[in-house]
Amino acid sequence: MSDILTQLQDAIDILVQQMYAGMVYTNTRHPYGDIPGQPHDADRDLQASGANDNGPASNADNAGGANNNGDRPRSPPPDPNFAATQHEIASDIIMNMARINALADRLPGIGFSEQQQMARLAELDRELREEQAKLDEAKREKERLMRVLDERIMKARRP
């Protein structure tokens, strides 16, 4: 398993992707709203999507991505389950935010002052030096025992 910082970065990357996907979905699949004084494109888009359901001949007419009523490409029809899908996307984002918060809470240093962190580092440094001294002593002992073993092997007579 990777360290907490790597997990946190991965979770943030996923969160950014989820947010972007949610915005793209909302932008492309939102239900149409009525704006006073503005033309209502929903009728044009829905008629164009209905025309595409008639068969391959109408698909050939609209193969360029634009329809006959205008020069801009029509947007996909609104999703009938838009609210449920939007709620699911929001739930996923909230769950990922909770995961990020849990990972951030596990980071060392949160809830400790700088002096406490420096004291902890000094303690860990002291422990590291003690363990390094023990390791050096063990290496010296190993070398001494290897010399003793070599001497005894050399002194041993073969029958």
Query: Would you kindly state where each structural domain of the chain is located, as residue ranges?
Result: 4-112, 113-159
What is the sign of the dihedral through the CA atoms of 70, 76, 77 and 82? negative
Length of the chain: 159
Give Cβ neighbours of residue 63 (< 8 Å, ≥ 6 apart): none
pLDDT in tens, 66-92: 445 555 555 666 677 888 999 999 999
pLDDT in tens, 96-149: 999 999 998 888 776 778 888 889 899 999 999 999 999 999 999 999 999 999
Give yes or no for residue 158 having a pLDDT over 70: no
Give whole-number Cα distances, 27 to 4, 14, 78, in Å. Answer: 34, 20, 10
